[in-house]
Amino acid sequence: MGRQGRFRRAAARWPRGQSKPGPYRLGLLRRPPIQAGLLAAVFTILAGGYSLATPIFEGPDETGHFPYVTQLAVGEGLPVQGREAGLSTITAHPPFYYALAALAVAGVDRTSPALPQPNPSFVWSGRGLDPNAVIHTSSEAFPFQGSVLAVHLARLVSVFFGALTIAGTYWFAATLSRDRGLALGTASVVAFNPQFLFISGVVSNDSAVTALVTLSLGAMAVLLRDGPTPARSALAGALVGLALITKAGALVLLPLAVLVLAALGAQAGSWRKVGEVAGWAGVPCLLISGWWFARNQALYGDPLGYQVYLTIHPAFSGADFTQRDQWARFFEIMHRSFWGWFGWMTVSLERQVYAVLRVIYAVAAAGGVIATIRWARASAPLASLTTPWLLTIAPTFLVFAWTVNYVRTFGDFGLQGRYWFPAIAPLALLLAAGLPSFYPGRWRLVPLGIAVLALASLAVAVPFRYLAPAYNLTFGLG
């Protein structure tokens, strides 16, 4: 009782919003607010629209992701790096997303129509200026059949995980802030991010790993705010385990978990309790994901399979981050592709749109400074900021460091904003929390609401203004 009391007293020092704290415990998973459900439904409709507006295989690496799904669907087992033709580096990915997509397409006859062939005039081939990576034919028109239907069904699995990300973002933000309005605004920033909508509408494991990392962050927030129990700890461990067998980028959760355990130890004043929590969380995590790393060790002599990955990756020249212009280029490309650079990064927004988004960054950052000054003047206890900062700044930094290392090793292959999506919930919360600082009181959410409406308008316009004209297909949905 004494240890649990320490956790409760630590939680009581949190800054409170306008909502009562009670609903934000684990029960939020069982009774999510209706607004979050409606937002997830709107996202599902929008992501479905993006999926229909994007011809098959025009998502990044979709030509590799779908064969992985097909291989599992026909019962050929997990691919082995370096052995599977047509899969290239995709064989290094853990299988969770692909296994679910394989279940979705298992009953579909994929023998016809033939899948699209590579476009020799694709802009990245160096022999043309076409934005489409493959040649599209009327066989892709609605009603979908055969292999085309299978691609669209696999895309629906991505849409599902995208919607799960929206729900997870709300849970994460509500747990940290105890403010339903701010949580809804944070989830809306994610839901109306055009690039996340696009990625959630193609065959890719990006929306899946984003959802599972986001849910893991929500579970960690509950642990820190309400104190650990066997059930809460096991849930966090299971979610981390699922993320680890979805994409390697989820490995950033492991150092974050160590930080969370250290924070729990500091709160409880008992390192024995930390050991108990590590056991409660570690067992389900290992049961779910341990086999994957053991398989890699057995096949490649490396639990990550990284050395083999290096040998089969296309030719690359790593980025030199000792040069200032490399950092400027890195941030510019990541900024644009985080919000909207579609297809195989061949369809972009107008330059003015990216400029407006930079202004929103600046305003949010200024708001964050204002909020920090107010907090300092109020002599608020440092403990009141420990958990919010730990679960926003730390995952953001870890994902940033992972991406920088990837670009340093593989060059432009890593310059894609989707690699920041595992940190999309903390990034959205930082942005959303900064905007209300200019209007404290009843009008505090007005700036955030304006930003969300602007993003929503852009999100609705993208399929019609950018995607459809770019591919200019001669056939439609009917």
* pLDDT given at position 367: 86
The answer to whether position 140 is within a domain reads no
Closest CA to 154 of 195, 108, 91, 210: 108
Q: Is residue 252 part of a domain?
A: yes
Please tell me the total count of domains within the chain: 1
Q: Are 159 and 208 in contact (CB under 8 A)?
A: no
Q: Is residue 231 part of a domain?
A: yes
* Backbone region of residue 476 per phi and psi (left: phi > 0; alpha: psi in -120 to 50; beta: other values): beta
Rounded to an integer, what distance in angstroms lies between the CA atom of residue 391 and that of residue 256? 8
Residue 49 inside a domain? The answer is yes
Per-residue pLDDT reduced to its tens digit, 166-205: 999 999 999 998 899 999 999 999 999 999 999 999 999 9
Q: How many CB atoms lie within 10 A of CB 113?
A: 16
Residues 6+ apart with CB under 8 A from 291: none
Structural domain for 182, as ranges: 2-114+146-471
Identify whether the C-beta of residue 62 lies closer than 8 Å to the C-beta of residue 147.
no
| Strand 117-118 versus strand 347-348 pairing type | unpaired
Output the 3-class SS for the chain.
CHHHHHHHHHHHCCCCCCCCCHHHCHHHHCCCCHHHHHHHHHHHHHHHHHHHHCCCCCCCCHHHHHHHHHHHHCCCCCCCCCCCCCCHHHHHCCCHHHHHHHHHHCCCCCCCCCCCEECCCEHHHCCCCECCCEECCHHHCCCCCHHHHHHHHHHHHHHHHHHHHHHHHHHHHHHHHCCHHHHHHHHHHHHCCHHHHHHCCCCCCHHHHHHHHHHHHHHHHHHHHHCCCHHHHHHHHHHHHHHHCCCHHHHHHHHHHHHHHHHHHHHHCCHHHHHHHHHHHHHHHHHHHHHHHHHHHHHHCCCCCHHHHHHHCCCCCCCCCCCHHHHHHHHHHHHHHHHCEECCCCEECCHHHHHHHHHHHHHHHHHHHHHHHHHHHCCCCCHHHHHHHHHHHHHHHHHHHHHHHHHHHHHHHHCCHHHHHHHHHHHHHHHHHHHHHHCCCCCCCHHHHHHHHHHHHHHHHHHHHHHHHHHCCCCCCC
Q: Is there a domain that residue 121 lies in?
A: no
Nearest to 282 by CA among 247, 246, 306, 253: 253
Examine residue 132 and state whether it is found in any structural domain, yes or no.
no
How much is the pLDDT for 236? 98
pLDDT value for 264: 92
User: pTM value?
Assistant: 0.91
Residue with the two structure tokens 């988004």: 357
Cis upstream peptide for 426 (omega within 30°) = no
Query: What is the predicted pLDDT for the residue at 231?
Result: 96
- Domain presence at residue 225: yes
Q: Report the SS3 class of residue 304.
A: coil
Establish if 178 belongs to a structural domain: yes
pLDDT in tens, 119-129: 999 998 778 88
∠ CA(130), CA(136), CA(137), 5° rounding? 145
Chunked in runs of 10, what are the mean pLDDT values of the chain (478 residues)? 49 40 44 85 98 96 94 94 75 97 92 79 84 90 92 98 98 92 96 99 98 98 93 98 98 97 87 91 98 97 91 76 91 97 96 96 87 66 68 96 93 93 97 84 86 97 96 64
Find the angle CA(191)-CA(162)-CA(448) to the nearest 5 degrees.
15
